[in-house]
Structure 1
Amino acid sequence: MRAAGRLVLLLAMSLLAGCGGKRTRPSHAADSARHEQGRADSSRGADSFRDDLSKSQSSRYRDGSDSVPGDVPDIGKLVEPVPRIEPRSLYGNKSPYTVLGHSYRVLPSARGYDERGIASFYGNKFHGYKTSSLETYDMYAFSAASTTLPLPSYARVTNLENGKSVIVRINDRGPFHQNRLIDLSYAAAVKIGIWPKGTGLVEVRGIDPGSSSQELPPPTVVTTGHLGIYLQVGAFSDADNAERLAQRLRQANVGAVQVMDAEVNGRHVRRVRVGPLADVDRADQVSARIEGMGLPRPQVAVD
Structure 2
Amino acid sequence: MLVAIAIFISSCGTLSRTQEDSPKAPPNIDFPDASKSGTKIEEGIASWYGPKFNGKLTANGEEYDMHQFTAAHRTLPFNSIIKVRNLDNGEDVLVRINDRGPFAKNRIIDLSKKAAQEINMIGTGTARVALMIMGHDLQSSRTDNLKVPTYTVQLASFQKRSKAFQHSRKVQGARVETVTLGDKKLYRVYYGTFVDKNKARQKAQELNNRGFNGYVKQIQN
TM-score, structure 2 normalization: 0.49
Query: Which one has a bigger Cα radius of gyration?
Result: 1
Instruction: Please give the TM-score of this superposition, normalised by the length of structure 1.
Output: 0.37
Q: When you count strand as a share of all residues, which structure comes out higher? A: 2
